[in-house]
Structure 1
């Protein structure tokens, strides 16, 4: 597997509240996580970092079975434990009240990717030259769009486009989307915070990922620079992974 990752404060924010992490579980499964924190007084930073730390602590010792159900269940448990502990931390500390974070976590093996998703960070798959969004934003604007109350164009500039309706750590329970997708040779998986997707269009992302002759490091640099060139109004984080064949996850 060819991997590249980037996280950047952007050009406007005073603090990078995004956190990203890659590690291997006990059985050598690759696990990738992107979390985009929210909350004042550095609370978003705390929420995203704690979520990743808790998920790694739970998932790293796991001897994953080869079933989709097993991987999904462990991801669900990991996000649940993160939610419980981040919420508890917020309740015990006034400076952390109201903090929360998005999360997109992936367990990758030879044939499939299993994802757990909360919030508006996203996962995309480039397959056979086509870019597919694997996740659905848990945002107020997406709800309005789904119900036909605003158009896709109106959603891009809506004053509440950053409002999410699900987050880790904001209540004692969290609803998690579980997604499974095939994973084949030459596929590229992208996990990212909305600091990328609000600055760079899906068409542009697809063009970068499908460009032949570039390494994942070069593609990651291009995507980051495009987000910054477009204004860099938020923290920008991304993880890129390319399936290299039979020995990819080992």
Structure 2
């Protein structure tokens, strides 16, 4: 598997509240996590760092050569444990009150992708030149769109477009979306925070990921630069994983 990861504070924020986790295991699996923290001064980055660390530790304890259902349960358990930890921290320290984080975590091998998802960080799959969003934003504007109250264009400029309705650590219980999809040789999985997707259209992301002249590191750099060129109003983070099934089995 070919991989790349990037995070950038952007052009406006002083602190980077995004956190990333990426591990390639001897079993042939890869673990990838992107989290976008929220809260008061420093609380957001504490939340995202804690969640990435705990999810990664929880998954590394498991035997991943198993069924999709078991991998989904591992994600549920790891995210639930991380939620408990961050919520407990927020109750003990005044400066951490109300903190939380998005999370999109993936267990990946050459056959399948299993995702656990909370918030508005996203997962995309590039397959046969088409870019497909695998996750659904847990955001206020997405709820308005689903109920036909605003259009896609209105959502882009909505004053509450950054408001999420689900987060890890913001309450005692967390509801996690689970996604499973097969993927093929040369497909690319993108995990990213909304610092990329609010700045760069899906079409532009698809063009970069489809490029046959850029390697994975260059694709990651180009995506970050596009977000910065568009204003970079938020932290920008991403992980790319490319399925190299043929080379892995040859």
Q: TM-score, normalised by structure 2?
A: 0.97
- Aligned 8 A contact 1:122 1:133 in 2: yes
- 1:223 aligns with 223
What secondary structure is seen at the aligned counterpart in 2 of 1:23? strand
- Cα distance in 2 for partners of 1:139, 1:195 equals 14
What secondary structure is seen at the aligned counterpart in 1 of 2:80? helix
Deviations along 1:140-187, one digit per CA (max 9) or x if unpaired, are: 000000000000000000000000000000000000000001111000
- 2:10 aligns with 10
CA, structure 1 residues 139+116, in 2 after alignment: closer, same or farther (shift >3 Å)? Answer: same
- Cα distance in 2 for partners of 1:148, 1:19 equals 33
Deviations along 1:211-238, one digit per CA (max 9) or x if unpaired, are: 1121000100000000000000000000
- 2:245 aligns with 245
Deviates more, 1:135-144 or 1:19-28: 19-28
Q: CA deviation at 1:245?
A: 1.4
**For 1:123-138, what aligned pairs fall within 5 Å after superposition?**
123-138=123-138
Q: CA deviation at 1:27?
A: 3.9
- 1:71 aligns with 71
- Aligned 8 A contact 1:34 1:237 in 2: yes
- Cα distance in 2 for partners of 1:247, 1:106 equals 21
- Aligned 8 A contact 1:87 1:170 in 2: yes
- Cα distance in 1 for partners of 2:73, 2:26 equals 17
Q: CA deviation at 1:57?
A: 1.5
- 2:94 aligns with 94
Count of matched residue positions in the alignment of Structure 1 and Structure 2:
249
Q: TM-score, normalised by structure 1?
A: 0.97
RMSD between superposed Cα atoms in Å: 1.2
What secondary structure is seen at the aligned counterpart in 2 of 1:14? coil
- 2:162 aligns with 162
Give the gaps of 5 or more residues in structure 1.
none
- 2:85 aligns with 85
Q: CA deviation at 1:122?
A: 0.2
Are residue 152 (structure 1) and residue 145 (structure 2) matched? no
Runs of 4+ in structure 1 deviating by more than 3 angstroms, as ranges, are 24-28, 246-249
Give the gaps of 5 or more residues in structure 2.
none
